[in-house]
A and B are shown apart, each in its own frame.
Chain A
């Protein structure tokens, strides 16, 4: 039961974006992808989520090849939070949240979902946002709403327990200190309830203090991947980012020059 990618290569417009990447996202694990700009992190996430189809290689979810899973079923298995575009019409925050409701027609399901939504609203500290217009929110607030929406998308009725995954592209950008911590706690809680988590992060300190595994990407290739502890190497990071790096352990503090 994993998301598994085998020898993924991708070319866009004659440029090699990804080169023979193999990786896994396991249930209950937090995997962070790090690497310099243009390493292919977001493209890799898009291949895994099914948004990019022109790649070579195989992606499977829980041992089923991705192309054999219908577009609608995929929505139940993985939810994705990425960089967002502006929204043309005046939806309320609640409208946007409810876009994460995959099921809504059955009455029992609707009630359960409403209850879960209230729980998520509390967890994400959004009581004061819920009745505002989405377009009037700040960038950070909008990201929090989208995050809450991706959590709602992963809702399952009681007594079902399908293995699902959360893919996050730079989830903490634009967030203030308090909400960064809150979102981290939600993600950790999600992982300990069994969801497999993949994140793209730029903040190395955050990535190392927070993930179970790290995947270091550069120029479309995996430089190294493995347990966070094993990945904590100044030489490795220096090779990827082409700068001088020093590391203090306990607490982890990565500095660059």
Chain B
């Protein structure tokens, strides 16, 4: 008996506190994500059919469009949505604050600045080393880690009282990063450096497999590491001293969440730019649908983020054909009123 007790607590079983409804909801989210992916692969400026592709009836051009353009794009949009969704949920849990969002508090901006710096100052190193494709995401991760650590010290350990400072630091970092990205895009003649709109509004276009694979690995790893900490994030809501008394290694929990959030946000920003408000809206919708316990909210937010981002990118691609809307425009158009509503709601409490 003794043995079972010790082991079972350490492995922090995942399904213990998930209700049946929450499992149904997550399955539903997964199915819609797959359905949206198929839609997003099929529709676009160039018509394609999945059925034809599977049956082998497609032409070489169609094959290339599907595997080299459409598929990476859909995967990237899903990954970016998942990483922003789950990071938003985890950061809100860590800060014990429903207003935390990787975009609002400057984490995405830090990542964008890190990535642009690497592109401008890094020069040719990407092609020289075999692991060169990892350099841009790693620089973005360094940027986002730095911002989260700074937030940590400014808010004296993420206390609930720290909310004002958290948002103020976010404003400052966003401004600094905006200037930095602006200067870098202006002085750089390098064709690799994408436009200012790319970094501030985001885009999933133009991604290739060699760039995508490291990002897939980083984000998948971050999510796999993050999810088993759900139960400890729940306990943290009682306050740090209480979580400690219930057996949570609070220090380890914090650094794990900081690193995994920084990694997943950094990796997604490196390839898709800053996409606002997803990390804010998605966890709230997820909670609204099924409850607040983190072993539902974390994976649920990842799935919901992926599904919503895939469909949002499809809309961005086809709504003003042949042109394309920046994805960040869509998410901000939906997200900013939602943010206002949230502030009013919290103020009423």
Using CB atoms and an 8 Å cutoff, list the residues of chain A in contact with chain B: 46, 49-51, 71-76, 78-80, 82, 84-91, 95-96, 98-100, 102-106, 109-110, 135, 153, 157, 159-160
Contacts and interface: CB of A to CB of B under 8 A. Distances in A.
Contacts of A46: 241
A98 B244 contact: no
A160 B241 contact: no
Contact of B238 (A76, A99, A104, A160): A99
A76 B92 CA distance: 29
Contact of B244 (A51, A73, A76): A51
Given A99-B235, A99-B238, A160-B2, A50 B17 contact: no
B293 interface: yes
15 contacts: A46-B241, A51-B244, A51-B245, A72-B249, A73-B6, A74-B247, A85-B238, A87-B237, A95-B292, A104-B8, A104-B13, A105-B8, A105-B16, A109-B5, A160-B1
Interface in B1-41: 1-2, 4-6, 8-11, 13, 16-17
A96 B239 CA distance: 12
A90 B292 contact: yes
Nearest to B95: A88
B160 interface: yes
A-B interface, 8 closest residue pairs, ranked by CB to CB distance from nearest: A75-B247, A105-B13, A105-B8, A72-B247, A89-B292, A104-B16, A85-B239, A80-B245
A157 B1 contact: yes
A91 B231 CA distance: 13
Contacts of A71: 244, 247-249
A102 B246 CA distance: 7
Contacts of B245: 49-51, 74-75, 78-80
B237 A72 contact: no
A153 B4 CA distance: 16
A75 B246 contact: yes
Interface of B: 1-2, 4-6, 8-11, 13, 16-17, 92, 96-98, 160, 234-235, 237-239, 241-242, 244-249, 287, 292-293, 349
Contact of A102 (B97, B237, B247): B247
B293 A51 contact: no
B300 to A, nearest CB: 14
Contacts of B98: 88-89
A82 B242 contact: yes
Given A71-B247, A72-B9, A88-B97, A103 B17 contact: no
B8 A88 contact: no
A91 B98 CA distance: 13
Given A98-B17, A99-B246, A160-B2, A85 B8 contact: no
Contact of A50 (B4, B244, B349): B244
A106 B292 contact: no
B284 to A, nearest CB: 10
A71 B234 CA distance: 17
A74 B241 CA distance: 13
Contacts of B17: 95, 98, 104
Contacts of B11: 105
